Each structure stands twice: as C-alpha cells, then as structure tokens.
C-alpha cells in the first residue's frame, strides 16, 4: 500500500474525531456560559435603570457638581437647573478665564452626556482652565411649562454665571448639544448680550435640508401625515409626551443594531464589555418626558414647520426670533456620519439667513463650521477621540474664535508634527486653522433645492390640516379615555422601555440568575481562539 493510499485510510482520521467532539463540547459550554452572563448583564441593566429612576435628578455626569439655580423655584417654574462642575483632582481653574456653560439636550434621554467621561466637553474645557457650568433637567416637566419658559430660565442661568465671574475675560462660551443647540440659539437671538462664542455640536437648525433619499428622519413627519400623531401620543400620555418614543425613533434608524448587533456584541465580549455596556445604558435608558405643549411646539415650529431659520417664530410677548440678531461667533460642529443631524441640517440655515459671505460680514457675524468625516451622532458627544481632538481644539482656541474677523470659516485640523512651527508651544496633538470659505463651498455641502423646499412646504400644510381634523374630531374622545394609569402602561410596553422591565429581579424567569452567573464566573471555560 502506497503512502497516498495510507493517508486516505479511515483509520488515519480516528484522532480527528475525538478532537472535533471536544471542540464542539467546548463551544457549547462557552456558548451557554456566555448566555448566562449575558442575561446577568441585562438583569444588572434593569436594576440600574430603576436605581437611576429613583434618584431626584438622574444624570450620568462623571464630575461632582454643586447646585447654583433650581428652575423649579422660578416665577415660571421649569424642570431645568444650573450646576457648577467641580474640577477633578489636579485640574487648575483660572478664575479670570471665560466660563463654559454646557446645555444638554432634552430629546428623550436624561442629562449628562456633555460630561459623560473625563474626555468630554466639560473635561477638556476644565483642563484648559475654564470654570464650567452645566444645565440639566429632571425627568418630568413642571405643569404648564413651555419652550418660552425654558428660554427665559436659560437666560437667567447665564445672568447668574456672568454675575459669579465679574472679572472674566469674556462672556460665557455656551455649548448647546443636539436639540439644545436650537434652544440656545433662540435665547441668543433674544438676549445676545449674555453670550460669548456659541458652539452647537450636532444641532439641527434647517429641518427641511438634506440629500434626497437619505436620512429617513427627514421624511418621517411628512410620511405619517404631520404632527397630528404628536398630539395623539401626548393625549395618550395624559398630557405628557413620553421621551421613550424619541429614543425609539433613534433606534429605528438602525434596526439591525437595535435588534441584533448591540446584543451580539455584548454576548460575544461578555467577559469584558459588561461595565462599558452598563455605563452607556445608564444614559440610553434614562427616558424623560415633555409636556404636550412643548412637544407640539417643537414639531410644528421646527421639525415640520422649519420656521426658525426664516424668522417666522414670534414669542407670546411679540418678539420675533431672528438668528441674525446673534452677535457672538457661532461654531457649528457636524459630521458626514451623522444620520440624525447631517451637515445639510446643521449648516443650511446660513444660506437661509444670508445672501453671501459679504452679507455675513456686513452683519458683523462670525460663523465657523467643522465637519467630521465619519463619526455618528452620539459620537459627537461621547467619543473620547472627538473630545481630545475637536472639542479640545475648540476650547483651547475659543478666545481666538472670539476675535476672528466677521465672515465664514471652516475649522481645519491637521496632526501636529515635528516640522510644525514651535511644536513645543502647541497644546495637544492637533493644529487648527480657520480657513475662509465662500457660499459656493457651503452650497456644495448643503445642496439646496427649491423644488424640495416646495414639497416640504406642502407637507407642512397637510400637517396643519390633519392636526386640525384630529383636534376637532378625535381629540375630545381620546382625552376622555386617557389617564395616568393607561399612560404608565403604554410607557412600560414601549419597545424602548420593555427590555428594562423584562429582566428585573422580580421577573420569575430571572430568579436564580445571580447565583448561576456567579457560579459561571468561577467555572468560566472560554473557548479557545483557534476553535473552528
């Protein structure tokens, strides 16, 4: 018998079979152990959710803070508050440097994303020596609270910050994250004397702008017939809009991640990823509510109405909100990878307000934009890399931005090299340049379309008609049957809320998971990396 014949003999494969059986057993043991540990992490997430919910002011700030003003005590009470951030050990604050005020978005999640970790907007501003303040909120709005009430409260917060820093080199730099961006822009348009430079990361200001066929959130309101659904949802919530629906909107942008990838990533890395997963879920699951009037105003005036950049919004006391009244430099930070606030929605308002670059100069306005190539919406606020690059450069150069001549600029960042002039004087790893830009550059980004504008104007009119029909024909009946109990059950059954309810300790199916998970950790048998 030849050697080749011997190699084909069934007897030659005998050692392979026990090895394959052992590898299969190892794989199944590892899989079951991962599943048990995965369930235990989900149980911890549910327990963490209720522990956060029990707090008076749930937040995810990684810094200690002292309360300065409580908006619930104002003449027109709001559920917002101003706190002073305590610098971490080893960080020196220079009292004469301009203060930074970070305003967090109330868009379904709780406060704290602006100071989620050491490398964050608050963290880099304090490392640059600036006193820092934070504007957050409680989970439930005050009765009768309106958007105008919040604007007035935020103006009072800034007045207090200015009062506390009479020797500061400049007015406060205000950072309005995401949905807080349009809010602080409206305050700056009505009280421009309170503001230093404005930084608005990931903030939508032109709600009809965008590339045709991309970013489904841009089309959602029109496809569903407008804002009548907002009114229905608020009525079913007994006068409150459940923020879990806003979180659900975010999750629906990437169902594959929501239903599979996020959970699989945890399962596949369950030995190491649990703490990081729980840290993020503490914020992601901290849902907050809005009053019906607040949410209806936001949808009708902004997301469906697109009335901010066109100066169509008038306050109850007759003040027109015109963004051209802002006198502080405005820095818009957006990303091509952001499917919630794409660059078109972050920058299109400039084309709506001004005819060309000379018009910006004539108005005495300075506008700077920075575009990241790939980071997603949440990464703009939570990514350590973005904090160490963009946010650090913004904070380090805020006084330079404040004295830039009026005009339109792009902030261009390049890595620091040994060939750079005086590299020892450069703070951080990046060099920022402010390069003059034209409206042709801006149009290439925004891609404005008059035809699309007309279509969205039609959708706005349809929304107004449908809302009127709902309020006339259906709202009285819905409000008659809705109550706080039905609202609570709808909240618990929301797809974004339900997972936190299912894996609680009180669920009979979760009994014993703690002990089982502890035994599993003691007897952990991870599969070998070369297991086929």
Q: What is the pLDDT of residue 4?
A: 42
List, in sequence order, the alpha helices (H) in 54-114.
Answer: none
Mean pLDDT of 209-217: 83
Q: Which residues pair with 136 in a beta bridge?
A: 81
Taking the CA atoms of residue 242, residue 243, residue 244 and residue 247 in that order, the dihedral angle to the nearest 10 degrees is 150
Domain assignments of the chain as residue spans, ordered by start: 65-218+315-451
Instruction: Give per-residue pLDDT as tens, 396-427.
Output: 889 899 999 999 999 998 877 666 666 665 66
CA–CA gap between residue 389 and residue 378 (Å, rounded)? 16
Label residue 42 left, alpha or beta by phi (over 0 means left) and psi (-120 to 50 means alpha). Answer: alpha
CATH class of the region 65-218+315-451:
alpha beta
CA dihedral 436, 353, 337, 111 (to 10 degrees): 110
Report the DSSP pairing between strands 100-103 and 132-137.
parallel
Which stretch of DSSP H or E encloses residue 277? helix 270-284
pLDDT at position 135, please? 98
- Determine the average pLDDT of the residues in 237-263: 93
Sheet holding 80-85, edge to edge: 65-70, 80-85, 132-137, 100-103, 173-176, 198-201, 330-335, 366-372, 407-415, 430-436
Alpha-carbon gap, residue 385 to 85, rounded angstroms: 22
Kindly tell me if the per-residue pLDDT of 160 is higher than 60. yes
Calculate the average pLDDT of the chain: 91
Both structure tokens of 29: 């043991």
DSSP annotation of 155 reads H
For the residues 233-246, what does the mean pLDDT come to?
A: 96
214 pLDDT tier (thresholds 50, 70, 90): confident
Which DSSP string corresponds to 162-192?
A: HHH-TT-SSSPEEEE-THHHHHHHHHHHH-G
Interacting residues of 296 by C-beta distance below 8 A, sequence separation 6+: 227, 230, 231, 234
* pLDDT at residue 116 in the model: 85
In three-state secondary structure terms, 50 is helix
User: How confident is the model at residue 68, as a pLDDT?
Assistant: 98
- Return the closest-CA partner of residue 528 out of 25, 37, 36, 39: 25
Q: For position 9, what pLDDT does the model report?
A: 43
Tell me the C-alpha distance between 147 and 136, whole Å: 15
- Say what the pLDDT of residue 12 is: 45
CB 133 within 8 A of CB 82: yes
The mean pLDDT of 225-247, rounded to a whole number, is: 96
Query: Which pTM was predicted?
Result: 0.91
- Per-residue pLDDT band at 20 (split at 50, 70, 90): confident
Q: For residue 298, which of 401, 179, 409 has the smallest C-alpha distance?
A: 179
Does position 118 have pLDDT exceeding 90, yes or no? Answer: no
pLDDT at residue 335 tops 60: yes
Greater pLDDT, 509 or 172? 172
Mean pLDDT, rounded, for 41-51: 93
| 3-state DSSP assignment of residue 41 | helix
Which residue stretches of 363-411 are H helix? Answer: 379-382, 384-386, 392-396, 398-402
pLDDT of residue 423: 63
């Amino acid at each position: 018998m030849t050697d080749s014949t011997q190699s084909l003999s069934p007897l030659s494969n005998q050692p392979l079979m026990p090895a394959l059986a052992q590898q299969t057993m190892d794989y199944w043991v590892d899989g079951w152990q991962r599943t048990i540990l995965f369930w235990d992490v989900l149980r911890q997430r549910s327990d963490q959710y209720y522990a956060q919910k029990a707090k008076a002011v749930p937040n995810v700030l990684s810094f200690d803070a002292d309360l300065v003003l409580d908006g619930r005590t104002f003449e027109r009470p709001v559920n917002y508050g101003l706190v002073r951030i305590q610098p971490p050990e080893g960080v020196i604050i220079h009292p004469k440097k301009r203060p930074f005020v970070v305003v967090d978005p109330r868009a379904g999640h709780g406060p704290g994303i602006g100071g989620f970790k050491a490398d964050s907007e608050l963290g880099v501003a304090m490392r640059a020596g600036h006193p820092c303040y934070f504007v957050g909120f409680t989970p439930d709005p005050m009765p009768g609270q309106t958007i105008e009430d919040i604007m007035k409260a935020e103006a009072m917060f800034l007045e207090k910050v200015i009062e506390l820093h009479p020797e500061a080199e400049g007015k406060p730099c205000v950072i309005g994250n995401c949905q807080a961006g349009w809010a602080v822009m409206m305050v700056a348009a009505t009280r421009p004397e309170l503001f230093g430079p404005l930084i608005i990361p990931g903030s939508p200001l032109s709600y009809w702008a965008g590339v045709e066929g991309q970013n489904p959130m841009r089309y959602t309101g029109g496809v569903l017939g407008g804002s009548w659904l907002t009114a229905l949802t608020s009525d079913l919530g007994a006068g409150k809009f459940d923020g879990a629906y806003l979180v659900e909107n975010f999750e629906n942008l990437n169902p594959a991640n929501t239903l599979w990838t996020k959970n699989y990533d945890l399962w596949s890395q369950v030995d190491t990823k649990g703490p990081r997963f729980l840290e993020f879920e503490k914020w992601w699951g901290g849902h907050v509510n809005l009053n019906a009037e607040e949410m209806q105003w936001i949808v009708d005036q902004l997301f469906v109405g697109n009335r901010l950049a066109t100066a169509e919004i008038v306050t109850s006391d007759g003040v027109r909100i015109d963004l051209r009244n802002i006198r502080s430099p405005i820095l818009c930070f957006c990303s091509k990878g952001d499917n919630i606030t794409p660059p078109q929605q972050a920058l299109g308002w400039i084309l709506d307000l001004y005819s060309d670059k000379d018009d910006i100069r004539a108005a005495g306005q300075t506008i700077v934009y920075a575009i990241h190539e790939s980071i997603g919406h949440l990464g703009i606020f939570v990514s350590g890399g973005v904090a160490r690059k963009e946010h650090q450069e913004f904070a380090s150069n805020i006084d330079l931005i404040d004295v830039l001549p009026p005009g339109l600029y792009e902030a261009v960042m390049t890595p620091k090299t040994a060939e750079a002039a005086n590299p020892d004087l450069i703070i951080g790893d990046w060099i920022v340049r402010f390069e003059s830009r034209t409206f042709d550059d801006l149009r290439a980004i925004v891609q404005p379309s008059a035809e699309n504008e007309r279509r969205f104007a039609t959708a706005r009119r349809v929304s107004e008609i449908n809302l009127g029909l709902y309020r006339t024909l259906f709202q009285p009946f819905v409000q008659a049957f809705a109550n706080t109990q039905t609202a609570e059950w709808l909240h618990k059954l929301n797809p974004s809320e339900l997972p936190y309810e299912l894996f609680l300790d009180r669920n009979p199916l979760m009994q014993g998971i703690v002990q089982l998970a502890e035994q599993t950790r003691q007897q952990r048998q991870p599969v070998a990396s070369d297991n086929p």
